[in-house]
Every structure is written in structure tokens, then in C-alpha cells.
Chain A
Amino acid sequence: MPQRSHSTLGELLVKQGVSRRSFLRFCAAATSLLALPPSLVPVFAESLAKARRPSVIWLSFQECTGCTESLTRSHAPNLEDLILNALSLEYHHTLQAASGEAAEAARLQAIAENKGQYLVIVDGSVPGPNSEPGYSTIAGHSNYDILLETVDQAAVVIAVGSCAAFGGLPAAEPNPTGARPIMELVKDKPLVTIPGCPPIPMAISGVVAHYLAFGRLPELDQYLRPLAFYGQSIHDRCYRRPFYDKGLFAEGFDDEGAKRGWCLYRLGCKGPITYNACATMKWNDGTSWPVEAGHPCLGCSEPRFWDAGGFYRAVSVPLTLGPNTLLGAGAVGIAAGAVAGALARRRARIAERTLPPVSIEELEAKQ
């Protein structure tokens, strides 16, 4: 295993039969994806070729394997394959051949041999330190212990998918397992989140490529998401936006508006509050993306998207309030107003009867 980490990425690609020309093409694509200036392509290519093949430990906790699916189903041959084949994946539940004791031993060995050098990719959320650890264990160890033990000597931590980034489905109300996002548990390591349910594969490989080439993470937003992929909202890059601006909406999945490709806001599109690259990079190798396929964006790359209102209700619709609440409050108000009004009226009538009349002389005397 150690000798694997000694060969450089460039050497490895040559061995795999990747030509210099196609490598450069990949580098150009990656730099543009990462929103780096084109002048950086040669630098990027050179440093990427020289990068040591990094050791990666992939930890899967409370997750559905959708993120791994997203990554491994990307179409060959592309940047994702290139980068991922070049990684030395030392430990990944689903993908590794070893199991049981041998698998855990591989993880510990990878930590020991690559201290301070290896990348940790986490998918899935983790029951926090104060939750019942039994909700999710591997080989008898709690997710939390494994996470802390593994990131301790890591160079960077990449939280892949909305569960690792924000808690995701396991952390949705009422969060029975006490699931926590990685950023709340890992505080002292360079951390990047790549949320999405699942995330766009290119966002994962793009971040890895950037790290390999420059030795640091790309620019991040407040949620530690790489700005290159999460810097703009779905809504601002959506090709249906002109219909939104004109107020033309589909109101059903098969009505006239839907057929004409009008905006899906009224069908519950969360594009306006969602930052992700779907609208520009699309899915399945640039084939299409949910809104193009006629389905509203679910807001999968934002915190708490499972709890942020029904998927098919417009973003601005209140979470719990309906006409009845308002009618109820109004009815109580009318009753209270009637009482207050009656009292005031009575006071006025009593005053009319009992207040002594004032003469002009008295008023003038007061001045």
C-alpha cells in the first residue's frame, strides 16, 4: 500500500493510457468548473500531474449510499473517473473487497501510514456525542468515535452529501438518532461541505482536483460549500426564470403551463432559496436536470431541506398557518372587540348623563 502513495498522479495516468492531450482537456474543464482563470490551466495541469496519489478514507455513517451511487455512476471517461481512479481509496464500506476485521484494519493502517496526508470523505450524519451511540455503529464502535479517530490525523475533511453537510434526512424532525452534521463535530480541520441529495459528482471531483493541484481547498461560502459550485442560486440560473419574472406559472404537472415550460414556483420549486450548480452543470453528464425535466427543485443542497415546507407547496407559503388560524384569531378579536366596544359605549353614555355641563364662562376662566 505505501508504494501506491509514492507514484504521482501524472505517472499513474500515463500508466492507465491517458494521453497528455486528454489530460490537459480535463484540466481545462476542471479549471473552468472551479471558476479559475484560463491562465491557470498550465499551472493546474502541472501541479495536478505532480501531485502524489493521495490516500482517501471514505467514511459512511447514517446515509443511503446515494452519494456513492452518484459518484460511481458518472459516465466514463470523464474528469470524475480520472480523479477518482487516481485516488487510493483505502477504505470504503460499499466499494472495498475486505470486510469485518480486515476492513477496519485497513482503515487503521491507512491512518498510520499517511499521518497528516490523507483525505477523509464522509457521507452520512453522525449521532452526536450526547446521543445513544447504538443508533449507528461499525464493528462495535460508534460513528462518533470512528469519525474523531479518523479525522484526527487527516489533512482535509470533505463532507459529501446533505446528511454529512447539514444532517440531512436522519436529522429531519424529530431527529430520533440525534444526528449531527460533520461541521458541528469536526472543528479543527480544514473542512469542505458538498451538499446535495446527492451532490453533483463533478462538485466532488472538482474539489478533490483543486486540493491535489493547489494543496488547499477552494474558496468556500458560510456553509463551507465551494463557491464555484454553490455560489449562485438555482433560481438565478434557471432557464425558466423569464416565466417567473413575467408571472407565468404551471399550476399542475400536465396543465397548459407545464406543457409550455412555464415556471414551477407554484408547484413548490425551491430554486429561489437553493444554491447549487444543477441549472448550469446539469445531471447525467449534462443531459438534463430536475427543473428541465418538469419537476420543481426540492432544495436538496440547503440545510434542513426536509423540514422546510412541503415539496409541492410554494416557498413563500407559511409552514403551519392556514385560513383557519386567521379566521379563529379574527373571531376571537371580534368577540373581544364587541365586549370592549360595549364597555366603551356604556362609559360614554354614563358620562353623557353624569358629567356636569360646562358653561362658557367657566371655560374662559380656565384660560
Chain B
Amino acid sequence: MNDAMAFLLWTKGPMLNLALGIFALGVAVRLVEILILGRAKNYAEPRAPEWIGGAKALVSRTLPDPGTFRRAPFDVLIGWLWHIGFILVLLFFVPHVELIRGVLGFAWPALPTPLVDVSTALTILGLIAALVHRLTHPVKRFLSTGEDYLIWAVVFMVVLTGYLSYHRLITPYPLALGMHILSAEIFLILVPLTRLSHLFTAFIARWYTGAHFGRKGVEA
């Protein structure tokens, strides 16, 4: 009967060390590898400094441009909705902030919990909508791989178990919290190993693209 608590303590202790260890190691390997690999030397005279193009692309490729929005309003809206919801909850829920302080030694103020609660609910709805769309849209369905569904499931589990724990909908409570922490740990381990690595590569890619076009003096 102490099992649920033993499970929770395991997820907060050894398993967390392992997951964060793999995450930090994996992400470092990936990043350093990408940066060292670099790109082929460009001998052409740059028309404009690279960094202007890079910085512009960071912004322009993050904000949806009107064309994309007109072509795929659903993807843009839902994608934005749950990404922002997820990031808000991840970085600004009281216990998460304290966790970050515990791991990094510093943190920032948290958001009021009701706000975080609403954004969790919206994230869950957004994720469900995204899955339904992926399953019903022929092109999306054709393009989806097993990895895509795996990632969806892991992200969904993280948010759902968090919501269920917060509202105490699973008993005993240590089981609910343990499941949430374990899902988050699986997420962390998968970051360097799957497409979830866009968490940190997305912005590098945007920078590279922007810089590349920028030195040619054209819009990215």
C-alpha cells in the first residue's frame, strides 16, 4: 500500500536524475554536433550581414505569415494555441517554477494557478483537435509516421496527467503525481532522440536559413 508513494519517490529521485541526465547529455551532443558540422564555406561576397537576416527569420518564421494562415488556418491556430499553452504551463506553474529553481538554482515568478489551469485545459483541447485533424486530413495522415503519433501521445500524457493530478481526479494522489512526473521524464528522454528536438533546433534552423538568405540580400 506504500507502493504509490514508493513510485512517486522513485520518479522524483533516481528516475529524474536519469531522465534529466539523458536530456542534458543528448541535447548537448546534438547541439554541439550541429554547430561543429557547420555549413560549407560560402566564398561569395555577402550582400548584407548574416545576422540581420538570421534575426529577422527568427521572428518571421515564428510568426505565421498571412499566406500560411489563409492556406491552413486550422494548423496555425491550433498549433499556436497548444504550443503557447504548453510553454506557459511548463514554465510558469508554481511547482514547475520551484522545480526549475531546484535544478538550475534560479527561477522566475510564477503565474496565478487559475490562469495555468485554463491554459492546461486549452492545451488538452488543442492537442485533441490536432490529432483528430491529423487522422482525418488525407495529406496529413499520409505524411504522419509512427514517431509523430508517439510524440503526440507523450505530450498529451504529460498535460493530461498534470491536469488530472491538479484536480485530484486519480487516487491515491501520489500515483497521479508519479504518473505525471514519469510522463514528463519520458518526454525529456525523447527530446534529443526524436523530432521533439525541434524544441531547440527550430530556432537554430531558422537562424541558419535567415542568415543564408540574408547574406544574399533576399528575404527568407
Report which A residues bind B (CB closer than 8 A).
166-167, 181, 183-184, 221-224, 233, 236, 244-247, 265-266, 272-273, 275, 302-304, 307-309, 313-323, 325-326, 329-334, 336-338, 340-342, 344-345, 348
Contact = CB atoms under 8 A, between A and B. Distances in A.
Contacts of B9: 304, 307-308, 319
B94 interface: yes
A275 B16 contact: no
A230 to B, nearest CB: 10
B31 interface: yes
A333 B171 contact: no
A191 to B, nearest CB: 10
B1 A344 contact: no
8 closest pairs, A vs B, by CB? A333-B28, A337-B32, A341-B36, A316-B95, A317-B102, A329-B24, A333-B25, A337-B29
A61 to B, nearest CB: 17
B168 A233 contact: yes
Contacts of A323: 103-105
A341 B32 CA distance: 7
Nearest to B98: A314
Given A222-B171, A333-B25, A333-B27, 12 more contacts: A221-B171, A247-B111, A304-B9, A317-B98, A322-B105, A326-B104, A329-B25, A330-B28, A336-B25, A336-B29, A341-B32, A344-B36
Interface in B1-38: 1-2, 4-6, 8-9, 12-14, 16-17, 20-38
A338 B102 CA distance: 29
A319 B12 contact: yes
A274 to B, nearest CB: 9
Nearest to A224: B1
A343 to B, nearest CB: 9
A332 B25 contact: yes
Interface of B: 1-2, 4-6, 8-9, 12-14, 16-17, 20-38, 94-96, 98-99, 101-105, 109-114, 168, 171-174, 177
A181 B94 CA distance: 34
Contacts of A316: 95-96, 98-99, 102
B20 A321 contact: yes
A326 B29 contact: no
B43 to A, nearest CB: 14
A198 to B, nearest CB: 19
Nearest to A180: B2
Contacts of A266: 98
A246 B101 CA distance: 18
Contacts of B174: 273, 302-303
Contacts of A318: 12-13, 16-17, 99, 102-103
**Could you tell me the dominant secondary structure of chain B's interface residues?**
helix
A337 B24 contact: no
B6 A304 contact: yes
B180 to A, nearest CB: 11
A331 B24 CA distance: 9
Contacts of B12: 309, 318-319
A340 B33 contact: yes
22 contacts: A167-B2, A181-B2, A223-B172, A246-B112, A302-B5, A314-B102, A315-B95, A315-B98, A318-B13, A318-B16, A318-B17, A318-B103, A320-B16, A321-B16, A323-B103, A325-B20, A329-B25, A331-B28, A336-B29, A337-B36, A341-B36, A344-B33
Nearest to B13: A319
Contacts of B22: 329
Contacts of A313: 102
B103 A322 contact: yes
A315 B25 CA distance: 26
A318 B28 CA distance: 22
Contacts of A167: 2
Contacts of A345: 36-38
Q: Which of A223, A246, A319, A342 has the most CB of B within 10 A?
A: A319
A108 B105 CA distance: 59
Nearest to B177: A273
A333 B24 contact: yes
A233 B111 CA distance: 22
Contacts of A329: 20-25, 28
Contacts of B172: 221-223
Given A308-B9, A323-B103, A233 B29 contact: no
Contacts of A322: 102-103, 105
B36 A338 contact: yes
B14 to A, nearest CB: 7
B27 A308 contact: no
